[in-house]
Homo-oligomer: A and B are copies of this chain.
Amino acid sequence: MPSDPKRLADLRCELTRRGWDGFVVPRSDEHQGEYVPPRAERLAWLTGFTGSAGLAAVIGEKAAIFVDGRYTLQVRGEVDSALFVPRHLSEEPLSGWIAKELPKGAKFAYDPWLYSENQAAALKEAVVAAGGTLVAAEDNPLDAVWADQPPPPIAQVLPHALQYAGRSSQEKRADLAEGLRQRGIQAVVLSLPDSIAWLLNVRGGDVACTPLPLSFALLHDDGRVSWFVAPEKLSKGLMEHLGNGVSCQLPGDFNAVLDGLAGKRVLLDPASAPAVLFQRLTAAGAEVVKGTDPCQLPKAMKNPVELAGTRAAHRRDGAALTRFLAWLDREVSRRAEAGGLSEQEAADTLAAFRREDPLFRDFSFETIAGSGPNGAIVHYRVSPESNRNLGLGELFLCDSGGQYLDGTTDVTRTVAIGTPTAEMRRRFTLVLKGHIALARARFPEGTSGSQLDAFARHALWQEGLDYDHGTGHGVGSYLGVHEGPQRISKLPQAVALKVGMIVSNEPGYYKTGAYGIRIENLVAVTKSHRGDGEERSMLEFETLTLAPIDRRLIEKDILSGEEKAWLNAYHARVLAAHAEVVDEQTKTWLEAATAPL
C-alpha cells in the first residue's frame, strides 16, 4: 500500500474547507492501544506507513511523517517522501516541525479522541509556542474524506470464567468503589480496554493478538458500571455473567451520560484517557480529578488463581516450544544439503505446535523469527521479501508467544545453526549473565524495575556493549502481552514491583548486519524470605517460562559458579516439566539440551 497522493489532496481540501492550516494524524485510536482496528488505521491509509507507532502532520503544502528508530528504513520503503518528508520521532520531533512550518496566527487541528490529555497538552505547548492556535476537531476530517473507512469492529465479547480470573467482577468493583469513596470521587471514566476487560471479567476480539473488546465504561462509587458497548457484541449469556451491577448502554449514549456528571468529582487518567473527555466533563460542570486509572495496578498484581493459570500455560507453551527446538535441530541437520529451512517455515511450525493446545486462542504478537542479519532487527517480522533460509554458522532468534485462556506467554530463544563463532558464543554468554543476574535478583519492597535494569546490562557493559530496548515489560493474564504500570528499563520509573506482577526478563545484543541475541523468560514477583536476621521485607522473581537455553552458545568459563548453578537448576526444572509430556524424540533431545554444564 504505497502513499496515495489523492488521499493527502482530499485531506488538504477538507482542512481548507474547515479553515484549518494544519492537522496531525497519529497512529493511535481512542484507547491508546498497541493494536488498533482497521477503522483506526488512519496513518496507514493516508501515508502507506504500516508500522506500529508514528504520526503524520500536514501544514499547508508541507507534510511530514514521524517515526522512531525501528522504522527509519521501513518508512522510506512504504511512504513517498515527495508527499511526506520522513523525520525521526524523538530527534526531529513534531514540535520542532511546527515551530518551523506553522505560520503565526495559524489554526492547527487535532482529533481529541486520539490524543490523551497529556499528549494534547504537549501539542498545545508546541502550537502556542509557534504563535498558532490549537483546535480540537469535533469530528475527524480524515474520516470525512475516507469513503470506505471500515466500521468499528464487533467481535463477540465472551465471559472470562472465574476459574481463570480468580476474582469476581463484583469483588473487584466493590474494592475500587471503596477507593473512590475514600477519595471523595463519584465516578471514574475507564478508557483502557484492558482495564475494562479485567474489571468485568470479559474478553473480546476487536484487535489482533489481544483478547480485548474496545469500549468505554464508567465505574460509579457504589460499584455499578455503565458500559458503553455495541449490543451486537454481547454474546449469549454475557448479561447473566455481568450481573445486575453492570448496565450496558449504547456507545452513542456515552456523551450524554458524561454531560450528566455535572457537579460530580470524576477521575480521569491524563496519561491514557482521550483529551476530549476532559474537555467534555469540564464543560459539563464536573470536577475532573486527574489520577492513574485505578484498574491498572490491581490488574498487574495477579491473584493466586491467575498465577496458577499462567504457570500452567507456561508449562504447555514451553512444551510446544521445546518440541519446536528439537524439530529445528533435526531439520537443520537433515536439510543441510537439501535446500535448507526458511524463517517462515520455522515460524509456521512453531505456530502449528502451539495451536494444538485446546486452551490456545491466538498468538500474543506476531512471531519474530530472524536468522543471521534479520536477527539484529529488533522488531523484525518475516515477509515474503525478507524470508531467508537459516544458514550454517548463523544464529536464529525466535521471539513468540501465545494467548491461552489461562495465561499469556512471551519467550525468546536464540539458537546456533551449525557452528557458532567465538564472538557469538561470548556475547551470548554475556547476555545470559545479564539474564541470570536479573532472574536471581533479590530486592526490598518498594523497588522499581528501573533500579534493577542495570543488573541485566552489567556484563555487557564490561565489554563496551549494550542493547537499545527495555529489559522487561509487564504481561497480562490472557490480556495484553505488554501492560503497565511496571517495567524494567533505563527510563526513570516510580512504580514499584509488587507481588504477583509478571514481567519479562529479556536482555539482548544486536550486531547490525550480522546477528541478534535475546534470551527472554517471563518472571513473577514473589516474596523472598531466607532467615531471621533479615530486616527488610524482600522480593524476588519466580521464572515462569520453561524452555532450554542453547548450551552450544555458552562459554562456560566466563560463568561464575552461581551462574552455572542457576542454569543447571533451571534446566532441571525444564526437563522435569516436559520429560513426561513430549514425544520420545523430543525427550531424548531435551535430556541432552538440559544436561548440566
Interface residues of A (CB under 8 A from B): 442-444, 446-448, 450-455, 458, 461-466, 490, 492-494, 529-531, 533-536, 538
From A489, which residue of chain B is reached at the shortest CB distance?
Answer: B451
A106 vs B443: C-alpha distance when bound (angstroms): 46
Q: Is the CB of A464 within 8 A of B536?
A: yes
**Chain B's nearest CB lies how many Å from the CB of A289?**
9
Q: Which of B443, B448, B533 contacts A463 (CB 8 A)?
A: B533
Q: How many copies does the complex hold?
A: 2
A530, B464: Cβ atoms closer than 8 Å: yes
Residues of the B chain whose Cβ atoms lie less than 8 Å from the Cβ of A452: 454
**In the complex, A466→B447 CA distance in Å?**
12
Asked if B451 contacts A535 (CB within 8 A), the reply is no
Give every chain B residue within 8 A of A466 (Cβ-Cβ).
444, 535-536
Alpha-carbon gap, A379 to B534, bound state (A): 24
Cβ-neighbour of A493 out of B453, B458, B463, B492 (below 8 A): B492
In the complex, what residues of B have CB within 8 A of residue A529's CB?
464
Q: Are the CB atoms of A451 and B534 closer together than 8 Å?
A: no
Chain B residues, Cβ within 8 Å of A451: 450-451, 453-454, 490
* Nearest-CB residue, chain B, relative to A493: B492
Residues B535 and A464 in contact, CB atoms below 8 Å apart: yes
Question: Is there an interface contact between B454 and A534, defined as CB atoms closer than 8 Å?
Answer: no
Contact A533 B494 (CB under 8 A): no
Contact A464 B533 (CB under 8 A): yes
**CB neighbours of A534 from chain B (8 A):** 463-465
Do B535 and A490 touch across chains, with their CB atoms under 8 A apart? no
CB-based contact B454/A443 at 8 Å: yes
Other than A455-B458, A465-B536, give 19 A-B pairs with Cβ distance below 8 A: A442-B461, A442-B462, A446-B490, A450-B451, A451-B454, A454-B454, A454-B455, A461-B538, A463-B530, A463-B533, A463-B534, A464-B530, A464-B531, A464-B535, A464-B538, A465-B534, A465-B535, A492-B492, A492-B494
Instruction: Give A534 to B530 CA distance when docked, in angstroms.
Output: 39
Bound together, the chains give a CA A443 to CA B456 distance in angstroms of 12
Neighbouring B residues of A443 by C-beta, 8 Å? 454, 461
**When A450-B450, A454-B452 are in contact, do A461 and B444 touch as well, CB less than 8 Å?**
yes
- Least CB distance, A495 to chain B, in whole angstroms: 10
Q: How many whole Å from A441's CB to the nearest CB in chain B?
A: 8
A462 vs B437: C-alpha distance when bound (angstroms) = 12
| Chain B hits for A462, CB < 8 A | 442
- Distance to closest chain B CB from A111 (angstroms): 28
Bound CA–CA A466/B535 (angstroms): 8
**CA–CA, A50 and B534, complex, Å:** 35
A-B contact pairs, 26 of them (CB 8 A): A442-B461, A442-B462, A446-B490, A447-B454, A447-B490, A448-B490, A448-B492, A451-B451, A451-B453, A451-B490, A452-B454, A454-B455, A455-B458, A461-B538, A463-B530, A463-B533, A463-B534, A464-B530, A464-B531, A464-B535, A464-B538, A465-B536, A466-B535, A466-B536, A492-B492, A492-B493
